[in-house]
C-alpha cells in the first residue's frame, strides 16, 4: 500500500499560508482598487477559500512584481553612470538594504514555489511536484501548520524509497498516472482528491442531493448509474492520456506576450503598486563608481 497526499488540499493549505504572508501588506486592497475583484472577493484571497481565483491572483502578482523589477533596474541604469551592476547583484544589494524590497522578493519566492506546485499536477510532472513539495516544507513549519509539517517530510521520504519498495507504482507515477484527466484539453490534469470532489459534486447534482447521502440513496438507480461512470476516475488503475510532460518552471511572460485583458490588468496593478511601494534609497546607492 502506498500512502498518498491530496494535492488539492495541500494547495489550499499553501494558499492559506500565502494569505498569512500577505496579510497587512495592502495586497488584497490593490485588487479592489484596480477593479479586478470587489472588496469582499479581494479579502477572501487571503483565506485560500477559492482555489482558482487565488491562482489567478498569484499569477498577476508575479507578473507585476517582474514588471516592477525590470522598471526599477532600467531606471537605475539610466540614472547611474559608470559600470553598472548586473541585475542579480543589484537585486541582492537591494534585498540587504531595503526592507520593503526584501519583503516583496520573499513573497515572489514563495509564489514561485506555489506555482511550481500547481504546474506539476497540471502537466503530470512527478519530479517537479516532489521538488515543489520539498521546497514547501520550511514554509509549513514557519506558518505553524503542524500536521502538514509533520507528514510532508514522511511523504517525501516514502516517495524517495518508492523505486525500491514499489517499482511499478513509481514507474506509473513517472508516466504521469498520479493525476486524472477528465477532458481532452492540455494543461488540465487534476489531483485525485480534486477528481473525487468533482465526482461527488456530479453525483449530488444528478441525484437531487444538496449534501445528504440519504437523499442520494432514495434515487438509487440514478446514483448507481453515475457511480459506474465516475467511479473509475477515483482509481489509480484508470489509464490516463497525458500531454508531453515538461520540466520547465511556471514562467511569467512579459505583458507584451500576455493577452489584452491580462496586459491591461497588469498595467493597472503596476500604477497602483508603484504608488504603494517607493524605494526610499538615496541616489548614491544606485551608482557604482569605479576606482581610478
In a domain, 196, yes or no: no
Contact 113, 135 (CB under 8 A): yes
Cβ-proximal residues to 137 (8 Å cutoff; 6+ apart), any chain: 149, 152, 153, 156
In a domain, 279, yes or no: yes
Choose the weakest-confidence range: 42-51, 179-188, 215-224. Answer: 215-224
In a domain, 115, yes or no: yes
Choose the weakest-confidence range: 4-13, 62-71, 204-213, 227-236. Answer: 227-236
In a domain, 127, yes or no: yes
Residue 160: the pLDDT is 92
In a domain, 162, yes or no: yes
Of 138, 250, 119, 130, nearest in space to 189 by CA: 119
In a domain, 16, yes or no: yes
Q: What is the enclosing helix (H) or strand (E) of 122?
A: helix 99-123
Enclosing domain of residue 49:
7-189+240-251+259-286
In a domain, 271, yes or no: yes
Exposure on the CB side of residue 226, measured as CA atoms within 13 A: 19
Distance CA 192, CA 11 (A): 13
Question: pLDDT of 185-224, one tens digit each?
Answer: 777 788 888 777 777 777 776 655 554 444 444 444 444 4
Question: pLDDT of 76-98, one tens digit each?
Answer: 888 876 678 888 999 999 999 99
Contact 206, 222 (CB under 8 A): yes
Q: What is the pTM of this model?
A: 0.69
In whole angstroms, how far apart are CA 256 and each of 43, 127, 144?
A: 29, 31, 40
Question: pLDDT of 95-123, one tens digit each?
Answer: 999 999 999 999 999 999 999 999 998 88
Domain count of the fold of the chain: 1
In a domain, 102, yes or no: yes
Across the range 12-37, mean pLDDT stands at 91
In whole angstroms, how far apart are CA 62 and each of 26, 229, 292?
A: 15, 39, 41
CA 91 to chain centre: 23
For the cut 60, the answer to whether the pLDDT of residue 261 exceeds it is no
For the cut 50, the answer to whether the pLDDT of residue 288 exceeds it is no
Across the range 242-256, mean pLDDT stands at 35
For the cut 80, the answer to whether the pLDDT of residue 71 exceeds it is yes
Of 127, 106, 63, 125, nearest in space to 267 by CA: 63
Residue 236: the pLDDT is 35
Q: What is the enclosing helix (H) or strand (E) of 148?
A: helix 146-160
Amino acid at each position: 500500500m502506498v500512502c498518498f497526499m491530496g494535492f488539492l488540499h495541500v494547495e489550499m493549505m499553501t494558499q492559506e499560508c500565502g494569505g498569512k504572508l500577505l496579510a497587512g501588506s495592502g495586497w488584497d486592497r490593490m485588487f479592489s482598487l484596480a477593479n479586478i475583484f470587489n472588496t469582499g472577493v479581494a479579502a477572501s484571497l487571503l483565506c485560500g477559500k477559492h482555489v482558482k481565483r487565488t491562482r489567478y491572483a498569484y499569477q498577476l502578482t508575479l507578473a507585476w512584481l517582474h514588471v516592477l523589477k525590470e522598471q526599477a533596474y532600467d531606471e537605475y541604469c539610466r540614472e547611474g553612470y559608470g559600470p553598472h551592476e548586473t541585475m542579480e547583484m543589484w537585486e541582492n544589494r537591494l534585498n540587504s538594504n531595503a526592507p520593503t524590497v526584501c519583503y516583496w522578493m520573499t513573497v515572489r519566492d514563495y509564489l514561485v514555489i506555489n506555482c511550481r506546485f500547481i504546474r506539476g499536477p497540471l502537466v503530470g510532472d512527478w519530479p517537479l511536484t516532489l521538488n515543489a513539495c520539498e521546497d514547501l516544507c520550511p514554509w509549513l513549519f514557519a506558518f505553524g501548520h503542524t500536521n502538514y509539517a509533520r507528514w510532508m517530510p514522511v511523504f517525501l521520504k516514502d516517495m524517495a524509497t518508492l523505486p525500491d519498495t514499489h517499482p511499478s507504482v513509481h514507474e506509473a507515477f513517472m508516466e504521469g498516472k498520479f493525476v486524472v484527466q477528465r477532458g481532452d484539453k492540455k494543461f488540465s490534469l487534476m489531483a485525485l482528491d480534486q477528481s473525487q470532489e468533482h465526482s461527488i459534486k456530479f453525483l449530488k447534482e444528478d441525484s437531487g442531493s444538496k449534501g445528504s447521502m440519504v437523499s442520494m440513496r432514495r434515487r438509487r438507480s440514478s446514483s448507481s448509474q453515475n457511480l459506474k461512470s465516475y467511479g473509475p476516475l477515483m482509481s489509480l488503475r484508470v489509464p490516463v492520456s497525458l500531454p508531453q510532460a515538461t520540466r520547465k518552471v511556471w514562467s511569467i511572460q512579459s505583458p507584451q506576450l500576455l493577452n489584452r485583458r491580462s496586459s491591461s490588468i497588469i498595467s493597472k496593478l503596476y500604477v497602483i503598486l508603484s504608488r504603494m511601494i517607493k524605494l526610499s534609497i538615496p541616489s548614491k546607492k544606485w551608482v557604482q563608481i569605479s576606482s581610478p
